[in-house]
Amino acid sequence: MNVNAHLGPTTLYGTHGKRRFRPEGHLHEIGLQENPVVKRTGAKLLAGRFFVGFNVGGSPRWTVDDVIDVFSDLRTGGASFIVQRGIYAPEKGQKIEEQSAQILVFNDEGLSRKAFTDTMISLAEELVVRLEQDEIYLDIQNRGVTVDSYSVTQK
């Protein structure tokens, strides 16, 4: 599978300060169909990368399967995405680590950058409520390079 996006370790900046995400485990591919004739070009190279913790109120609540189910429910129309479990951790020196996941959504519809970003922010707003999170991080990537970052909290 050729993925035009960055899925490796990253640093996140939000309302709670600087955090790290380190992917672990295999990729769950949902709705992806490899077609050698169709290539991702232009606006289709955009991707939204969400970072979602599994804890609620400091205690484990969700699993990667729960996140896949919730995200599948929110993403209607058979959109493709990738989910991978990982570790979400605060700055060095703090020992609290949390199981988490990254979700990568492709711009299969070929939306403009603004329309795609608005759609991803709306998804993050729904995710933060459905998964009872304080905050969800969202990166918008173009060809694997982060071009915008957002910290989405409950309203």
- The full set of domain ranges for the chain reads 10-31+43-153
Predicted local confidence at residue 18, as pLDDT:
77
Fold of 10-31+43-153: Alpha-Beta Plaits (3.30.70)
Cα dihedral 101, 104, 105, 111, rounded to 10, equals 130
Q: Please give the single-letter amino acid code of residue 117.
A: T
Strand partners, 142: 46, 145
Distance between CA 84 and CA 68 in Å, rounded? Answer: 10
Residue-by-residue pLDDT tens, the chain, 155 positions = 566 787 888 878 777 667 788 889 888 888 766 544 445 555 568 999 999 999 998 899 999 999 999 998 888 765 678 899 888 777 665 567 789 999 999 888 889 999 999 999 999 999 999 999 999 999 999 988 999 999 999 87
- Provide the 10 A C-beta neighbour count for residue 147: 12
Cβ-in-10-Å burial (0-12, 13-18, 19+) of 47 comes to: buried
Global pTM exceeds 0.85:
no
